[in-house]
Amino acid sequence: MVIEFTGGKIPPVDFKKLNNHLTGLKNGEYSIEVKRYYKNRTIPQNKLLWDIYNQVSKETGYETEEIHAMVGQKFLMDHTKKIPFVKSTTKLTTVEFSEFIAKMVRFFTVECGFVVYMPEDYQQ
């Protein structure tokens, strides 16, 4: 069950839902975690990502999925667990996703010498 609230106070209507949910649980030990909510990547951000992949694909001949895997390994490796893994772009917050795109664009333009066009470039 997820309850969204701001300002540190749970609205009375949601508190009632929480109480009903908790009383319906089987006997056992439970924990409640409160953490800050961050919005995941947006649809326009994802569209931009695949647009960049398409541009790089045309320059290199690599498939977009190959590029996706390569930049994931380069920029999204998570070494906090026993076995490192590539974080999924679907799990990135909007801020993390923006940072990922910026790193990727910088890599393709500086390291690879490609011109990566952004949406604002098309409007000029």
Give the pLDDT score at 61.
96
What phi, psi does 55 have (nearest 5°)?
A: -60, -45
- pLDDT (tens place) for every residue of the chain, 124 residues total: 666 667 777 667 677 777 888 888 899 888 877 777 667 888 889 999 999 999 999 999 999 999 999 999 999 999 999 999 999 999 999 999 999 999 999 999 999 999 899 877 766 5
Q: Which helix (H) or strand (E) holds 77?
A: strand 77-78
Give the pLDDT score at 51.
95
In a domain, 117, yes or no: yes
Q: Tokens at residue 78, please? A: 């998570």
In a domain, 8, yes or no: no
* Residue entry with tokens 């772009």: 89
In a domain, 83, yes or no: yes
Give the pLDDT score at 30.
83
* Residue entry with tokens 């409640």: 32
**Domain assignment of residue 91, given as a range:** 43-122
Give the pLDDT score at 120.
75
In a domain, 100, yes or no: yes
In a domain, 23, yes or no: no
In a domain, 37, yes or no: no
Q: How many domains does the chain have?
A: 1
Give the pLDDT score at 38.
67
In a domain, 99, yes or no: yes
Give the pLDDT score at 101.
95
Q: Tokens at residue 44, please? A: 């326009």
pTM for this entry = 0.68
In a domain, 74, yes or no: yes
